[in-house]
């Protein structure tokens, strides 16, 4: 990023931000395991733990502000996501959904928190891991509930479909359950965070570059920064939405695996 | 002028999901306007549809960088 700014200052052409801006150097030594996203993940775990332990430590009937904040997040996941979607067996999935929601939410927020300003999930590996968890959870739940044979059979040969249609539906269903679902889940989160970060870089680095140009360009640069600020709020919305959608889809997949017919 | 045609392709690929997202939220707003108490039922459905339509645009974005 500094490289870009320097090039801009030397009067060279503007270098638009690219995927290279996401390849951050290791912070300690040469190990590829000490890059910024790894520390952000650790930081998010610490922040979430501290917040919810503090919020639930002195639980009272008349809640403090902190307790209220913690409980409203929990109530949102429990009632709006788990209960409404999964139904009467929802309670044992609340811990997983709650962890998923808060983890993704905080890691996404890192994209706009000053000084951190890097969404962890814009590295696709983290999103893959989260989607893999969901993938194993919903298949495991389905196999536990129906037995492996019936579960796979229900996926491959959906009941209540005319026999001839199986030629078309069976490959599609296999593809959906074992490839498309985990892939879309991870790519959606990754691509949203990636695109959002790139968008902010374009406007903020662009504004920076314009400010160092001729007088006419200097006059335009505040507008670029202004749009950058507006887009930061837009990003905040997208970040919350993506955490919600990831958790909602996980709940829907679990509900689908638990249902009597798929 | 330098660049890659992938970005033009991504622009074209984003038209469909853009229209789709508009239609989904139009239907959602219509539904809530007609029957405000159905909001909590419609909301997850609307966001699910939005997420599915949006995934297509994001595949385009990923492919624009990968190819």
What is the pLDDT tens value at each position of chain B, 67 positions in all? 677 788 888 889 999 999 999 999 999 999 999 999 998 889 888 988 888 888 888 888 878 877 7
Alpha-carbon span A34 to A28, nearest angstrom: 6
Q: Does residue B12 lie in a domain region?
A: no
Q: Domain of residue B40: give its range.
A: 19-66
**A258: number of Cβ within 10 Å:** 19
Q: Does residue B32 lie in a domain region?
A: yes
Q: Does residue B6 lie in a domain region?
A: no
Q: Does residue B4 lie in a domain region?
A: no
The token duo for A75 is 């109530």
pLDDT of B29:
95
Is the pLDDT at A218 greater than 90, yes or no? no
User: In A, which residues are within 8 Å of B58 by CB distance?
Assistant: 187-188, 191-192, 195
DSSP-derived 3-state class of residue B31: helix
The token duo for A186 is 């991870």
- The ipTM of this complex is 0.78
For chain B, what is the domain count?
Answer: 1
pLDDT of A195:
87
Largest distance between two CA atoms of chain A: 72
- Calculated CA dihedral for residues A220, A225, A227, A233, nearest 10 degrees: -170
Task: Report the gap between the CA of A13 and the closest CA in chain B (Å).
Answer: 12
A163, A191 Cβ separation under 8 angstroms? no
Q: Does residue B11 lie in a domain region?
A: no
Q: Does residue B47 lie in a domain region?
A: yes
* Section A148-172 average pLDDT: 86
- Out of B40, B51, B59, the one facing A249 most closely (by C-beta) is B51
- Out of B40, B47, B61, the one facing A245 most closely (by C-beta) is B47
Higher local confidence (pLDDT), A99 or B48: A99
Task: Report the gap between the CA of A159 and the closest CA in chain B (Å).
Answer: 24
Contact: B61, A191; criterion CB under 8 Å: yes
Contact: B40, A248; criterion CB under 8 Å: no
Q: Does residue B59 lie in a domain region?
A: yes
Contact: B55, A252; criterion CB under 8 Å: no
| CATH number, domain containing residue B42 | 1.20.20.10
Q: Does residue B8 lie in a domain region?
A: no
Contacts within 8 Å (CB) and 24+ apart, A202-210: A202/A16, A202/A17, A203/A227, A203/A228, A203/A231, A204/A228, A205/A1, A205/A4, A205/A5, A205/A8, A205/A14, A205/A17, A206/A14, A208/A5, A208/A8, A209/A8, A209/A14
């Amino acid at each position: 990023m500094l490289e870009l700014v320097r090039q801009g200052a030397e009067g060279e052409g503007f270098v638009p931000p690219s995927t290279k801006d996401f390849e951050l150097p290791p912070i300690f030594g040469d190990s590829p395991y000490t890059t910024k996203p790894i520390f952000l993940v650790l930081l998010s775990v610490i922040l979430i733990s501290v917040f919810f332990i503090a919020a639930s430590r002195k639980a009272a009937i008349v809640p403090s502000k902190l307790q209220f904040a913690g409980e409203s997040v929990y109530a949102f996941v429990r009632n709006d996501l788990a209960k409404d979607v999964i139904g009467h067996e929802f309670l044992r999935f609340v811990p997983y959904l709650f962890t998923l929601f808060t983890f993704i939410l905080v890691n996404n927020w890192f994209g706009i928190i000053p000084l951190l300003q890097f969404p962890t999930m814009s590295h696709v590996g983290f999103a893959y891991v989260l989607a893999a968890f969901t993938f194993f959870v919903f298949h495991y739940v389905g196999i536990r509930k129906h037995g492996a044979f019936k579960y796979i059979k229900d996926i491959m040969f959906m009941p209540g479909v005319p026999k001839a249609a199986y030629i078309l539906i069976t490959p599609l269903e296999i593809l959906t359950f074992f490839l498309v679902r985990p892939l879309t889940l991870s790519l959606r989160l990754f691509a949203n965070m990636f695109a959002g970060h790139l968008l902010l870089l374009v406007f903020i680095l662009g504004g920076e570059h314009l400010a160092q140009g001729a007088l006419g360009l200097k006059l335009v640069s505040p507008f670029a920064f202004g749009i950058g600020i507006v887009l930061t709020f837009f990003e905040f919305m997208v970040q919350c939405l993506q955490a919600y959608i990831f958790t909602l889809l996980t709940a829907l997949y679990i509900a689908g695996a638990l249902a009597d017919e798929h | 002028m330098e660049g890659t045609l992938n970005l033009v392709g991504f622009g074209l690929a984003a038209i469909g999901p853009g229209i789709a997202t508009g239609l989904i939220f139009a239907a959602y707003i219509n539904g809530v306007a007609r029957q405000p108490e159905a909001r909590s039922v419609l909301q997850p459905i609307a966001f699910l549809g939005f997420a599915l339509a949006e995934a297509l645009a994001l595949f385009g974005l990923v492919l624009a960088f990968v190819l």
